[in-house]
Amino acid sequence: MRMNLTLPAAAIVAAGLLALPSPAAALTAGEVSGKMDSHQENAFIAGALDMAASFYDRAGKSQKSKCLMHWYYDDERSIPEILGVFENYKDKEAVDLLYVLIDRHCGK
């Protein structure tokens, strides 16, 4: 089930992640998909992608921001793809994997 988080909710999730010490903030894909329940997993992914979209928008890359939001929220294949990548690369940082997927779908 996909949760459509509002920007304030995503900001709260992001603030919580940013407040963690650096080693804890670098969650691996295995930690996200293996240790979080589905609500926590969805909140992490949505929060990270909403933050990335906001970053791209502020960096003058509004087309990439729109592409990212369309891919994640409108393409029903996005969640299975993200979870599959997390499953295949459990030892990699989850956010790094998300950026690879963003570049794959929306360009560099």
pTM value surpassing 0.75: no
Q: Are 30 and 93 in contact (CB under 8 A)?
A: no
Q: What is the pLDDT of residue 95?
A: 93
Give, for all 108 residues of the chain, the pLDDT tens digit.
555 555 555 555 555 555 544 444 589 999 998 888 889 999 999 999 999 999 999 999 999 999 999 999 999 999 999 999 999 999 999 999 999 999 999 988
d(CA 53, CA 50): 5
Helices (H), 1-108: 7-18, 22-25, 29-35, 38-58, 62-74, 78-88, 94-106
Q: What is the pLDDT of residue 13?
A: 55
